Structure formats: C-alpha cells, structure tokens
Amino acid sequence: MKNKGFTTRLVHADRMVNAPESGAVHQATTNSVLFEFKEAQDIVDVFQGKKTGHVYGRSSTGSNVALQNILNHLENGVGAITFATGMAAITATMLSLFKAGDHIIVSHFLFGNTRSLIETMESLGIEISFVDVTDVQNVKSALTINTKAVYLETIANPVTQVADLRAIGQLCQAENILFLVDNTMTPANMFDAKSVLASLTIGSLTKYIAGHGNVLGGAVVDTGVFDWESFENILPIYHGDDIAQWGLTQIKKRGLRDMGGTLSPTSAHAISVGLETLALRTDKTCENAMRLASYLHGHEHVAAVYYPGLADHPQHFLAREHFKGYGGILSFDLTDDIDPIDFLNALDLVICATHLGDTRTLALPVASTIYFECTAEQRQQMNVSDNMIRMSIGIEDIDDLVSDFEQAFAQF
C-alpha cells in the first residue's frame, strides 16, 4: 500500500490496515462499554500496559482503534488517539503534557475557542507567549529556559495567516521542545506534518476529515519525530519499553481516560466513511476557493480578500511551499457601504452557518459571532474587521457560487 496513491490507500485503508472480520470493507461498529476477560490475569496485563486490549468503552473500542489506525497510517506516525471533538483533543493534550511553571509559545492568530482554552491554561499557572508565527524570528525571540512547546495552526482562521512551519520545526528540534501543529485546515493529503518536524498533529475530525457536517470528532497523531525520553513531564508510570509511545500513553491515560472526551463508536464509523472522499472533496474545495477568491479580489464592493492562493497574500510563498492546494477557508472585508448581515441575507445558495469543511459553502459575519468575546483591540491585532465575512468553500459548481455572489452584490 505504501506505493499507492493517497486516495487509493485511503479508500482501502479500513480493510487493509484493520482487516475487518467476515470480508467486510469497514470495521464493524463496537457499541459495548464493557469487555469480558476469560482469564483474570489478562485484564490485569491490559490495565498495566503489558498487553493491548479494551477494558472500558471510555478508553477504547474496536471502532475507535480502527479509525486511529487509519489516521496514523495517513500521517505516517507512531500512533493516534481519537476524541469526541477537536477541542477535546486539544484540551486533553495540553492538560496532560504541561503543568504550572511551563512556558508555551502560541500563535497570535489562534481561533477564538482555542485562544479561550489557552487563557484558561494561563489561569492554571502555565505561562503563555502569543507571537506572530508567520516569522520564525518572533518564535525564537520568545524562547525562555522553561519553554516546553510551540503550538500553532497551519492556516489561521479566519484571516488565513500561514505559519513559518519548516523554520519553526527546525528551531523546535534544535531546542528540543515539542512542536504542536493543528492541521485541521490542511489534512494529510494537503500537508505532510512530518516533513516540517511536527511532534504532534492535533485537529478536528468534524471538518475536512469527515466532510459531511453530521458528526463531531478530534484526534492527536504522534509523528514519531520527538524524543519523549527528554521530556521531563512524562510521569515515570508511563515509561514503557517503547519510548515512542510515552507521550500518547500519558495523553490517553490523563487526557482521554480521566477527562472523558470519548469519541462514540458510531461517530468513529461515520468519520471513517466520510474520510474516504477526503482528497476528492479538498481538491474541488481548493479549486472553488481559488476561483471565488479571484472573483472577489478587486471587486468594487470588497475592501480586502484573505486567501493564501492569491499572489498578494503575505504568506503566499510559504503556502505554496508547504501545501498541496491553498485550502478551503476564505475571508473578505466588505466596503463600508454594505452591512455584513444584509449581504449574507442577500445570498441564496450560500448557507449562513458556523462550520468548516462541509460539502456546502458556508459563511458568517466574523466580528459579531465567533470573535464576539474578543475585545476590539484583540480583533484589530488579529486583523479581524467589523465588515469581515468568513467562508468555508464547498464542492458546488463554481459558476453557481459566483452567480449567487453576483445577484447578492447587485442588491446594493
């Protein structure tokens, strides 16, 4: 399978990687919460990590493990853990690996919900430095003696700033600190996290991975790049024979088991099925986004367009270096004579909704919704204007999308 194309590997991953019973091409959904052990010593060995197995549905099921195997296969990692949501994955990872007194360098452009979590971590005594991650020098300047990690998103939501991924990865390796990359916007067919020396990828499965807006999920994948033996926060009880598994073991025990953000087996199955068309969907989404960004660029009613595929995007060349396609998130500022609410109401085909990665094109007013809790100063720092509209581009026929915008603009 290693010599096959991405979509070929993906379509056949469940049956080839997981080998379901009875010739099924998908792993069966395992809904049992408890698991019987005929020999009592076996349950002891599983609890103590001497054997693999399922002991309780909150920690693992066959359905979840099957999805984890597929995600790990696509990232070429050493293991994966799934969660009920992307935020659950981020929270479990952060609170499992870091403690009061640790210092983390974080992207200044983090999505609102994630930024809120980071502020909660500050209240728990974890030191945070927010920096502009489009330039590695800003990260380097923020390093302190107690820096444990750098955390960022590949493409920021909603203004699409692109991180200086390769340079930051090299810096983290040189400093022997974790490099945590949220690749929700750029899944494995678009971005090779291991190539930029990412330690862990963390992201939402709800968005591009599932692709259909019917299920929530999140995941953490360990690329195998980081040497966990050098990370002092791993508790001795999790120092197993396989050093590569130390980080995931602590996240699974302290983050998944203890915090309880478990992905349901039925959700795991729905995500696995949606995952099969990932490359087809993202290829079409990127194509549509590029066409729509070009249409909006220079339009008389548009003050600015934020899309990495445009040549005048500040990080266009970084995006071209790192990604296959420029993503499906696009934002733009309307001119002052058009109210964003009125404009969204004028659209017929585009759906007003807060979501990303759907097959349908979605839009919402940014400042008054997903960034409403931020101060005006914070929004200004992140370049979020009062007239900004964020879009998640779908797979519709592009001519129909452009026509919808044309009829909406004609009303003003």
Please write the tens of the pLDDT for every residue from 106-132: 999 998 789 899 999 999 999 999 999
**How far apart are the two ends of the chain, measured CA to CA in Å?**
54
Q: How confident is the model at residue 1 (pLDDT cuts 50, 70, 90)?
A: low
Q: For the segment 290-307, what is each residue's pLDDT rounded down to a tens digit?
A: 999 999 998 999 999 999
Calpha distance 186→188 (Å, rounded): 7
Q: How confident is the model at residue 265 (pLDDT cuts 50, 70, 90)?
A: very high
Average pLDDT over residues 187-216: 96
Q: For the segment 137-159, what is each residue's pLDDT rounded down to a tens digit?
A: 999 999 999 999 999 999 999 99
Calpha distance 219→263 (Å, rounded): 9
Supply the pLDDT for residue 377: 81
Which residue type occupies 26? H
Supply the pLDDT for residue 370: 79
- Residues of the chain with pLDDT > 70: what percent? 100
Calpha distance 216→263 (Å, rounded): 8
Calpha distance 350→407 (Å, rounded): 12
Between 77 and 17, residue with greater pLDDT: 77
> Residue 158, preceding bond cis, omega within 30 degrees?
yes
Average pLDDT over residues 240-269: 95
Calpha distance 384→343 (Å, rounded): 18
- Tell me the CA distances in angstroms from 155 to 116, 158, 284, one per residue in order: 18, 9, 18
Q: How confident is the model at residue 85 (pLDDT cuts 50, 70, 90)?
A: very high
Continuous H helices in 297-346 = 316-322, 340-346
Supply the pLDDT for residue 271: 96
Place of tokens 């049956």: 15
Q: How many CB atoms lie within 10 A of CB 309?
A: 21
Between 393 and 50, residue with greater pLDDT: 393
- Residues of the chain with pLDDT > 90: what percent? 77
CB 162 within 8 A of CB 319: yes
pTM, entire model: 0.93
Closest CA to 66 of 86, 80, 83: 80
